[in-house]
Amino acid sequence: MITIKIKDLRLRTYIGFNDDELQKRQDVVINVRFSYKADDAAETDDVKYAVNYRTITKEIISMVEGGRFLLLERLAAEVLDLVMSNPEIRHAEVEVDKPHALRFSDSVSATVSASR
């Protein structure tokens, strides 16, 4: 097994349920970690055996920037579902941070994970 990490993907989306949150996009920071059996990829150095993290990242960007979410929990769950839709991925964890969500705090985050 190998673990791939997509770190600090900085996106903007509609997130929240207060009036001002419904009217303007806000920053979110997404971290994704996923594992898959990479023996063939590592042995052959052939991209056809690897999970394409660039494709996954583009799908996350499209889904997040094109969406509207009331809760961090929902956004994190939808990103996790997208990552786990790749049948090669055995385990994934997604953390979504909402910077400056609370006074005196750098961010608030939600983390979800799944395995098969």
Q: Which fold has domain 2-115?
A: GTP Cyclohydrolase I, domain 2 (3.30.1130)
pLDDT over threshold 90, residue 113: yes
Of all residues in the chain, the percent with pLDDT exceeding 70 is 100
Distance between CA atoms of residues 6 and 68, nearest Å: 22
87 in helix, strand or coil?
coil
Other Cβ atoms within 10 Å of 46 Cβ, number: 10
Q: Where are the domains of the chain?
A: 2-115
pLDDT score recorded for residue 19: 80
Query: What is the DSSP secondary structure assignment for residue 104, as one 8-state letter?
Result: T
Tell if the pTM clears 0.85, that is, is over it: yes
pLDDT digits (tens, 9 = 90+) for 88-107: 999 999 999 999 888 888 98
Q: Is the pLDDT of residue 21 over 80?
A: no
